[in-house]
Amino acid sequence: MASGATSAAIGGRFGAPEIEGRMEGSGLAIRNLLQGVDLRDGDLALSLRGADARVERFVFKGGDGELRLTGGAVLGAEPKATLQLVADKFRLLGRADRRVVSSGNATLALDAKSLALNGQLHIDEGLIDISRADAPSLDSDVTVRGSRQAADKAAEQEEEQAVLAARNARTVRDLRVNVQLDLGDKLRLRGRGLDTRLTGRLAITSPNNRLALNGQVRAVDGQYAAYGQKLQIERGELGFSGDLENPRLDILAVRPNLDVQVGVQVSGTAQAPRVRLASTPEMADYDKLSWLMLGRAPEGLARNDTALLQRAALAILAGEGQGLDAQLLGSIGLDEFSLRQVESGEVRETVVALGKQLSRRWYVGYERSVNTTTGTWQLVYRAAQRFTLRAQSGTDNSLDAIWTWRWN
């Protein structure tokens, strides 16, 4: 329960006040559950002596960490303030889809004409889920007609915003920002088919009084769902060179455990991305799509085009979320399920295949024809891009070392 006490005596002259007193508080809290802000157990002690104000104690708890603020200010005709901020595993955001725990320190210097912020911050852990939208809102072309009271309130708000804009135009501050941000190794980005850790270092500066972001962000151990497949991110880099909302993109996501490298390449910028199918060695887009979706060359594909179209339709219907097949496989712990037809002499058989990607290099699978009583287990270890070890047990027992050599 919050409690506090304040005592003060005001003196000095108009425009240069002098205050003697003290302000104390405990059990303070700041909450905005919609945005995920939940600060608690706040403790404040502020002393005022003449033109000087001193923050003796200012502490808030957030998650398992805390945020401390110290410093002071000089009031009077030329007010200025210098504050030091220290965060120790402080939970800045705690929403289900936006969680950020950070540590670091920063210094804020403020006077009537300038603002300077310097510091170093480190993200201890975090999750940013971009698959969930914020609270719904009306489109810009929708007009709501209400009572006269609502119209008067809207006009009053517009007038207040105009006054505030004019005041800001007259008071031009010299903004100097230099904050170094380390993303650490426990920040995760999820949503719209993407699931990856983010690492890197960014510098937040303010050239010409405008915020700018510079540095590199890399995707590590990531997956990208596209064309009904879980693709492995081989290369994922976002380069910032000033503009916060338009980084450069250099992303390559490939389907694992294939004899060829095939996947999706994204380049350009965030506002104008270029997406194309990529492969090594280079091949026609028709061949790339066959390898990407079916895991094999397109020979004989005409007899199996129904399965191909089914996977493509599911991928399109999934949109930004998971498709029905991905949700079902995820619920039972599998990564792959497929039906295909093979020919044995003059007999056409239907083969069911299940698979699980245990790690980046290990894969376990099971195949069985619907016309047989036993199936085949496979354990695959991809030692390198062109070298694979495969052990089979069941209908066929074998241990294979596969070396792939291709030439044009």
DSSP string across 199-264: EEEEEEE-GGGS-EEEEEEEEEEEEEEETTEEEEEEEEEEEEEE-SS--EEEEEEE-SS-SSEEEE
What's the Cα-to-Cα distance from 215 to each of 237, 253, 281, rounded to whole Å? 10, 22, 32
- Given this model, what pLDDT does residue 391 score? 87
pTM, two decimal places: 0.63
The ranges assigned to domains in the chain are: 1-130+174-182, 334-408
Cα(291)–Cα(258) distance, integer angstroms? 8
Q: What angle do CA 241, 89, 55 make, to 5 degrees?
A: 95
Find tokens 């991809």 and name the residue: 382
- Given this model, what pLDDT does residue 306 score? 44
Q: Beta partners for 23?
A: 6, 46
DSSP, res 304 = G
DSSP string across 42-61: EEEEEEEETTEEEEEEEEEE
Per 3-state DSSP, the chain is made up of helix, strand and coil in percentages (nearest 5) of: 15, 60, 25
- Given this model, what pLDDT does residue 82 score? 92
**Residue of 24, 41, 34 lying closest to 90 (CA atoms):** 41
Per-residue pLDDT of the chain (408 residues; tens, 9 = 90+): 566 666 666 666 666 666 778 888 888 888 888 888 888 889 989 888 877 888 888 999 998 999 999 999 887 778 889 999 999 999 988 888 889 999 999 999 988 888 999 999 999 999 988 775 444 444 555 555 554 555 566 666 666 666 555 555 444 468 899 999 999 999 998 887 788 999 999 999 998 888 899 999 999 988 888 766 788 999 999 899 988 778 898 989 998 888 788 888 888 888 788 888 888 888 877 777 777 777 777 665 544 454 554 455 445 434 444 544 455 555 556 667 666 666 666 666 777 777 887 877 888 888 877 666 678 888 888 877 678 888 888 877 888 887 766 555
Cα(80)–Cα(77) distance, integer angstroms? 10
CA terminus-to-terminus distance, the chain: 76
DSSP, res 300 = T
- Given this model, what pLDDT does residue 406 score? 59
Q: Is 317 helix (H, G, I), strand (E, B) or coil?
A: helix
Are the beta carbons of 396 and 380 closer than 8 angstroms?
no
- Given this model, what pLDDT does residue 106 score? 95
The β-bridge relationship of strands 114-129 and 174-182 is parallel
Cα(134)–Cα(187) distance, integer angstroms? 21
Residues 6+ apart with CB under 8 A from 88: 65, 66, 67, 68, 103
Cα(407)–Cα(388) distance, integer angstroms? 19
- Given this model, what pLDDT does residue 5 score? 66
Question: Positive or negative CA dihedral for 381, 383, 388, 389?
Answer: negative
- Given this model, what pLDDT does residue 122 score? 95
